[in-house]
Every structure is written in C-alpha cells, then in structure tokens.
C-alpha cells in the first residue's frame, strides 16, 4: 500500500507540474528528443546538420527559463484571461525565434558565452519575479527552491542507478541485448523530463506563505559553525598575503584575482542565506556586520591587480567578466553597509541586469574587449611607424621582440575568439598566413616562461656534431634514470627528482654522486629563465673522481626557481649519460 501511495504521489506531482507549467515541460521534453536525435545522427558526417540541431537544442533549452519567467509574471496578475496567456506565449516564441536567427546564427565563443549570460539572467528572473518589488521571507523561498533542487537531483540519480541496474541485469543474466546508448538515453529522459517535472511541482504558489517555515537545522549548522569560521580564517590569510604584497610591492597574479572572486561570491551567498538568522544568532549578526567591511579592501586589491594586467595586455572577455563581477560584489557589500535592513531581492535582480549588460549591447564584454585590443594594436603600430595613411607598413628592422609577440597575440585573439575582420587597418581578406607579407615578420608565439619560476633549455638539434665516447665503457639513456630498471646489473645509475642528485653505483657500492642543480644554476645565471637554444658544449657536463669519469650530454633541461628560497631546481632532463670506470 505504501508503494502505491508513493506512486500516486509522484503521478499527482507530475499532473500538478504539467497543469501549471505545460510549455516549460514541453521545452524540456523537446531538449531530450533533440539530444537523442543528435546522438543517433552522430555517425553521419554532416557538420552543418549537427550545428543546426545543436542550435535548435540550445533554443529549446533557453525556452525553459523564458517560459518560467513569463508564467510567473502571468500568475502575478489579478485578473487573468486566456487571451493574455496566449499573448505571453507569443512573446516567448518571438524572443526565441529572434534569438535563433540574430544571436545564435552560428556557434562560436561569443554566441555561446552570450547564451550562457542570457540563460543566467532568465534563471535569476525565475527566482525573483514572484517576490517583486518586495515581499517577506524571500530568503526562505530561495532555500526552499534550493532544497527542492537538491532532492530532485538525488531522486533522479537514485532512479537512474536503479534503471541502469535493471538494464545491466537484463543484459548480463537474461541475455537480453541492451544497447550501450540506452543507458545514455535513460539519463537524458530522466534529466530532461522527470527532473524538471518533479522540481516544478514543489514551487510555491503565489499566495503560499513561508512565514511558518523552519530554517533547516542542517543548513544552519553548516553555515554558522563550519562555513563562517572557514571564511573568517580565509579572510585572515588573504590579509596576511596582501600585507606581504604591500611590503614587497610585488602584485599578485591573475590566479589570485580568481581566488578572491570565488571567495567573495561565497561570502555574498552566505550573507544572503543567514539573513533569517540575524534576529536569533549573535554569530550571524557579527558576520553580517563586519564581513562587508572586511572584504572591501581585498576587492580593491583585486581591482589593482586586474588593472595592472589590463594596462599591460588590454581587456579580454575573461578580464572583463572578473572586473564586472567584482564591481557587482563591491556594490552589494556597500549596499549592505549603507542599509540597516537591506532587501536581499536586490542581489538576483542586480546580478541579472549585470549579466545582460555584459553580453548584450555596446557595454558588453565583446564590444569592450574588441575596442581595447584594437586600441592596443593601433598604439603598437604607431609606436613603430607602421601606420601610414590608414595602411599597415612592414615593421622596421629594429622592432622589438615584445612588440612582434604583442601584434601576433592580438591577431591570434581576434582569429580565435572573434574575427580578423574586426581588426582595424588589416587589408581585406587578411589571414594569419599573410603576417610576414603584411607585417614583415611571421607569427611569433608568446614566451610563456618566466625568469622567476620557470625555464627550459633545449639542445640545438640542427648541429650535426658527433659525440666522442671512445673513453667511456657504459652509456645510459636519461629516460631510464628515473626508474629502478638496472637493479640486477653490475653498474647502476639513477636520478632523484626530489633532490636533483645523480648517483652511480656498482654492486651496491656508491661510485659517484653529483647534485645536478649546481650545473643548472650556472646555466640559469648565464642565460636567465628563457626558452633558449644553447650550443652543445654548454649542454654537456664532464666530471670525474678517483673512481669514475662521467659525461652527460643534455638534450633538454627543465627547471624552476623556488618562490620562497630562490633556489634553482632541476625538474627533469633528457639526453645521455656516459660512464668510464677507472
């Protein structure tokens, strides 16, 4: 009986979802059908067809949040009519058709990131539309939706594992052939049909009151006694790190900016979620009061760091998104500081606006990035007198390597992320293969090595010299020095990567020991941390003691500088080891 009751409850939930959100479920089902169709047509080598189907699938997926937003807007009306409902449906359909033909006419980095931004804005709209302009217990509404989402994911995963186990048992024990794709299609149907229907059934109705809803104990303990202490400790570490930066005046790398950004996002989410606890918990009050103040200097330091990179390399989409998201978080923290009773609905509403601005219009990441890189490109051309009457001239002989790499990098950026047609002053029909003809030098890859933390030397492979080994009786390929492959031989050589020490022994007796870090350090001090091609004699080490004479012919050397100690460390090498026993 209990099983029958559970089945009846699930059927009731599905009926409730289909009755309230029929168009949304129609879109989610269409996504499932399209994904299965694309999978079935995959063996057909038709790129155009595959791209068209992918674009249609993306439009159907975009229809999910749009239809939810329009439905919730319609439910807010007091006097609703069928004609108005049809009008909302037509508006949604028109948005999707226009988006397909004008904003998703091809699959590219720009169209895909724009698609993600628009989706984010509509899903945020789905969260805040029922509570516009303001309504009590918005935080509890979000927590209820979040809890429902997690339960839906768990139920869907358990159901999938159960069905997959049945399919596997049919195949393994009863001999019923089960195609491998059936497992994939089962997951697609559950994820696109069952999961949305189950989740949407739990969305509160317009007049549903959350006043009597209890704050989840598990979430309360997690936030107050685990997450908040961890964030406090992380904040202290960031302050120590930034004090170190101020003392040493060495600004952080781009990675630190991302770490600060994710940390700030988590802080913002926690401040939002603990709002209902401010009236009953002292820790929540203290965190809500002091964390917005504490995080502002950290965000300012992040902006300084990003400003240095933008000044050096211009604006790109990634840097734009980091800065815009940082501005949004900074604004929210200031809002929390200035308002005695802040309305948390401001967070999703403002974030949706920021998301749309960042992917649409003249202030979008694409417009700002192309403008910035074009300005940078023009500045380099003017600096080297390569722009005459609006036409590009060949570079002078003394143009610096940095400028050649910068021009190459800008063109590669447009070629991969936008279009070379968007670059000012380029001749019509220009392609990357035309660089030497137009600019007077070929495309140059940026040197990713850093004198501070990485270097790589390689032997000049163009040399045809013969290695003199007549004095030596044994030869080892460097590749085997990392493994214990010569244990049973009379002579054994091995390299310890951790210490950088090369050892040669015979029948357990140590004959020779050398710290190769010292050899690499000499090379580093002479040539710096560049990716250089060195002559053979500089890449050869000859050494001896009273027992053996050793010759190492390096083909390549890979090392690094320790950030703390400044020591040069050999990470690995290739080449040959020759040994003569005296």
Both 124 and 264 in a single domain?
A: no
Both 20 and 147 in a single domain?
A: yes
Both 172 and 114 in a single domain?
A: yes
Backbone φ, ψ for residue 489 (5° rounding): -90, 165
Q: What mean pLDDT comes out for the span 90-103?
A: 95
Which of 176, 200, 224 delimits the end of a domain? 200
Is the model's pLDDT at 464 over the cut of 50?
A: no
- Find all residues with CB under 8 Å of 457, minimum gap 6, and list them: 523, 527, 531, 532, 534, 539, 554, 556, 557
DSSP state of 193: I
Both 410 and 480 in a single domain?
A: no
216 is a domain residue:
no
Domain that holds residue 372: 367-439
Q: Are 371 and 422 in contact (CB under 8 A)?
A: no
The dihedral formed by the CA atoms of 453, 456, 457 and 460, expressed in degrees to the nearest 10: -150
Both 326 and 195 in a single domain?
A: no
| Residue indicated by tokens 């697609």 | 188
> What is the pLDDT at residue 4?
74
Both 49 and 191 in a single domain?
A: yes
* Cis bond before residue 133 (omega within 30° of 0): yes
Q: What mean pLDDT comes out for the span 188-213?
A: 87
282 is a domain residue:
yes
> What is the pLDDT at residue 463?
47
Both 24 and 139 in a single domain?
A: yes
**pLDDT 10s digits, 494-511:** 888 778 888 888 887 888
> What is the pLDDT at residue 38?
93
| Residue indicated by tokens 């026993």 | 581
Both 52 and 193 in a single domain?
A: yes
> What is the pLDDT at residue 451?
43
Which of 285, 311, 344 delimits the end of a domain? 344
Is the model's pLDDT at 431 over the cut of 70?
A: yes
Both 96 and 239 in a single domain?
A: no
315 is a domain residue:
yes
Both 479 and 402 in a single domain?
A: no
Both 433 and 461 in a single domain?
A: no
- Tell me, rounded to whole angstroms, the distance of Cα 385 from its chain centroid: 39
Look at residue 582 and give its three-state secondary structure.
Answer: coil
Please, what is the end-to-end C-alpha distance for the chain in angstroms? 90
DSSP state of 21: -
Both 391 and 464 in a single domain?
A: no
Look at residue 376 and give its three-state secondary structure.
Answer: helix
The total domain count for the chain is 4
Q: What mean pLDDT comes out for the span 119-138?
A: 90
Is the model's pLDDT at 465 over the cut of 60?
A: no
> What is the pLDDT at residue 461?
45
222 is a domain residue:
no
221 is a domain residue:
no
140 is a domain residue:
yes
**pLDDT 10s digits, 537-548:** 888 889 999 889
**pLDDT 10s digits, 3-61:** 677 677 778 888 889 999 999 999 999 999 999 999 998 877 778 888 999 999 999 99
Helix, strand, coil distribution of the chain in percent, nearest 5 = 60, 10, 25
Q: pLDDT band for position 288 (50/70/90)? A: very high
146 is a domain residue:
yes
Q: Are 536 and 500 in contact (CB under 8 A)?
A: no
> What is the pLDDT at residue 157?
96
Q: What mean pLDDT comes out for the span 397-403?
A: 88
Which of 151, 183, 200 delimits the end of a domain? 200
Is the model's pLDDT at 450 over the cut of 50?
A: no
384 is a domain residue:
yes
- Tell me, rounded to whole angstroms, the distance of Cα 526 from its chain centroid: 38
Q: pLDDT band for position 482 (50/70/90)? A: low
């Amino acid at each position: 009986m209990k099983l029958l009751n559970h089945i009846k409850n699930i059927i009731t939930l599905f009926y409730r979802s289909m009755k309230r959100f029929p168009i949304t479920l129609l879109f989610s089902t269409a996504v499932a059908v399209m994904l299965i169709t694309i999978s079935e047509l995959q063996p057909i080598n038709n790129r155009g067809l595959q791209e068209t189907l992918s674009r249609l699938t993306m439009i159907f997926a975009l229809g999910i949040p749009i239809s939810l937003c329009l439905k919730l807007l319609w439910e807010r009306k007091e006097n609703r009519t069928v004609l108005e409902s049809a009008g909302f449906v037509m508006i949604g359909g028109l948005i999707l058709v226009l988006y397909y033909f004008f904003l998703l006419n091809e699959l590219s980095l720009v169209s895909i990131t724009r698609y993600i931004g628009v989706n984010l804005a509509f899903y945020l709209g789905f969260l805040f539309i029922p509570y516009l302009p303001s309504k009590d217990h918005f935080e509890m509404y979000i927590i209820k939706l979040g809890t429902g989402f997690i339960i839906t994911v768990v139920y869907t995963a358990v159901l999938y594992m159960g069905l997959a186990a049945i399919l596997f048992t049919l195949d393994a024990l009863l001999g019923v052939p089960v195609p491998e794709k059936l497992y994939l299609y089962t997951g697609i149907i559950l994820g696109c049909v069952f999961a949305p229907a189950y989740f949407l059934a739990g969305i509160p109705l317009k007049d549903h009151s959350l006043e009597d809803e209890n704050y989840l104990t598990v979430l309360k303990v997690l936030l107050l006694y685990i997450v908040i202490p961890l964030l406090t400790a992380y904040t202290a570490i960031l302050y120590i790190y930034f004090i170190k930066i101020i003392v040493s005046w060495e600004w952080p790398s781009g990675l630190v900016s991302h770490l600060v950004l994710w940390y700030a996002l988590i802080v913002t989410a926690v401040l939002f979620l603990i709002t209902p606890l401010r009236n009953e918990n002292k820790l929540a009050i203290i965190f809500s009061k002091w964390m917005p103040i504490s995080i502002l200097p950290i965000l300012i330091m992040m902006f300084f760091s990003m400003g240095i990179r933008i000044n050096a390399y211009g604006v790109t989409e990634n840097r734009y998104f980091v800065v815009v998201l940082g501005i949004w978080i900074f604004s929210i923290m200031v809002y929390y500081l200035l308002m005695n009773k802040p309305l948390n609905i401001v967070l999703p509403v403002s974030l949706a606006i920021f998301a749309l601005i960042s992917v649409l219009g003249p202030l979008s990441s694409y417009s700002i990035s192309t403008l910035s890189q074009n300005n940078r490109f023009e500045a380099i051309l003017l600096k080297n007198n390569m722009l005459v009457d609006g036409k590009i001239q060949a570079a002078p002989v003394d143009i610096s390597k940095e400028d050649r790499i910068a021009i190459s990098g800008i063109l590669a950026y447009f070629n991969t992320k936008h279009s070379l047609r968007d670059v000012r002053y380029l001749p019509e029909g220009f392609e990357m293969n035309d660089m030497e003809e137009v600019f007077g030098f070929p495309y140059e890859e940026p040197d990713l090595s850093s004198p501070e933390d990485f270097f790589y030397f390689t032997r000049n492979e163009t040399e045809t010299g013969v290695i003199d080994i007549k004095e030596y009786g044994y030869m080892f390929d460097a590749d085997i020095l990392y493994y214990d492959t010569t244990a049973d031989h009379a002579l054994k050589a091995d390299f310890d990567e951790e210490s950088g020490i090369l050892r040669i022994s015979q029948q357990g007796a140590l004959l020779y020991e050398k710290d190769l870090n010292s050899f690499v350090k000499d090379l580093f001090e002479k040539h710096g941390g560049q990716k250089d091609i060195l002559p053979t004699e500089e890449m050869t080490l000859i050494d001896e003691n009273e027992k053996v004479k050793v010759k190492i012919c390096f083909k390549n050397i890979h090392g690094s500088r320790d950030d703390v100690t400044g020591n040069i460390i050999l990470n690995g090498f290739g080449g040959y080891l020759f040994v003569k026993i005296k």
